[in-house]
Amino acid sequence: MPLADARAICPVLSTRPADPVGEGRALEALRRWASRYGPHAAKDGPDGLIVDVSGVAHLFGGETDLLEDISARLERAGLASNSAIAETRGAAWALARRGGGVIPEGGLLASLGPMPVNALRIGPEVAEGLTRLGLHRIVDLTSVPRAPLARRFGADILRRLDQALGAQAEPVAAEPDPPQFGVRMTLPEPIGLTADVMGILDRLLVRLCDKLASAQMGARAVRLELRRVDRSAAVVEVGLARAMRDPVRISALFRKGVDEVDAGFGIDGMRLGASVTEPLAPEQLKDVQIGNGKARQEDELADLISRIGNRLGFEAVQRFLPANSRIPERGFLTVPAAYAAPEPFPSRRRPRRPITIFPPEPLTGVSGNPPSRFSWRRMGFTTLCAHGPERITPEWWFDDPAWRSGVRDYWRVETGEGPRLWLFRTPQAASGFGDWYVQGVFL
């Protein structure tokens, strides 16, 4: 119901924002935990889990004791739950949502029969249609002809009935666990020198990158855990500007962090894992010269971004991307270089733009149109030649205060003093020649 109606019924109602993504992660964690009760565990809708416990219940003292163990563990974790065990998946689903319990072997129809028809995992429209015909309970469906029932409500109603009563198999398909990319090594004797740690790190990186290559994945963040003799641990984590699985390039990023680690009484264990991964398909290397170790240009740029990003933060390293706008200030975007692929600016013919653009600064002492003499930043300039005008109209769908004065006429001006400037004026707001501005400098 709408929140306003709910508050009218219950003024002290406590509400929280929905978090479907967080709830999905929590349910996935519970699914992995539920595999302790059976080898096949899967999600069952947005709020349930299903586990195949065939041949497992005796390990917990029986089916009733198994349910008690589940409820007790979930209650200690602060979770309220209802659990049920039955011969079929459909019967367990229905009983779990109606209090829970155990349906003894051979008692499916006796236990499910008195339940309403919506316990068969059918849609509310189908359940309402069955109720209007007087078929309120599951047992009522077993005494009516199947063919007319299927013609009116579809074959799904019969499939759900057969699955619940055991006439049609419905196995539990265990969801594959996401791959975990991690390797570790336990040392027979503690170590403490940076060179020793880096040597073992290089061996771990080779194993880790082999795992990544077999899954066609690349690492974007790698975490190194150094376990000391006194059971404490130091962690060194590095980020990567783009997905990679090159052990030599990743190792170079760890040296500074490993050098700053306090080894204490010695390090006797190391664990290395890729905490963030991305798909990385094999690619053909075109401009690598075999034998001299020459790296590709994009690899060198990625390594530079990785080194700077690990020191300053990857958000601080940005690159320019083209934007679809003729307004000088909006002709480009600045985005984090590590999270955006480089995109070339359009190669089509277009007016030249200065390499440096800044907010418009007014000119003084202007004479002529275009100005033959003017002053800017307390310096006088004489125009040698001027190219223009180039008229740019403001984008009417954006309310930009800087462009409320209307169209601008831009000129490229070469001065006798050296600088090549980008000037503009607003014709409709002109009063003499006092409305000239400079907005950029060419190389």
Q: What's the token pair of residue 222? A: 């790698």
Using a CB cutoff of 8 Å and minimum separation of 24, what contacts does 365-370 make?
366/433, 366/434, 366/436, 367/433, 368/433, 369/425, 369/433, 370/411, 370/413, 370/423
Extents of the domains making up the chain:
25-165, 182-283+296-310, 315-346, 356-442
Rounded CA-CA distance 277/218 in Å is: 5
User: Are 352 and 421 a contacting pair, CB within 8 Å?
Assistant: no
Rounded CA-CA distance 295/286 in Å is: 11
25-165: CATH topology: DNA polymerase; domain 1 (1.10.150)
Is-cis flag, bond preceding 370, omega within 30? yes
How many CB atoms neighbour CB 109 within 10 A? 14
Return the pLDDT at 285. Answer: 61
CATH H-level, domain 182-283+296-310: superfamily:
DNA polymerase, Y-family, little finger domain (3.30.1490.100)
How many CB atoms neighbour CB 65 within 10 A? 13
Measured in degrees and rounded to the nearest 5, phi and psi for residue 2 equal -60, 150
Q: What's the token pair of residue 441? A: 């400098």
- Count of residues in the chain: 443
Return the pLDDT at 292. Answer: 43
Return the pLDDT at 290. Answer: 45
Q: What's the token pair of residue 169? A: 């198999």
Rounded CA-CA distance 67/82 in Å is: 9
Contacts of residue 354, Cβ cutoff 8 Å, sequence gap at least 6:
420, 422, 439, 440, 441, 442
* pLDDT mean values, one per 10 residues, the chain (443 residues): 93 92 90 91 89 92 94 93 93 92 91 92 92 92 91 92 92 82 94 93 95 93 94 93 91 92 92 93 62 62 89 88 84 85 71 87 89 93 92 87 87 94 83 74 90
The pTM (predicted TM-score) of the whole model is 0.59
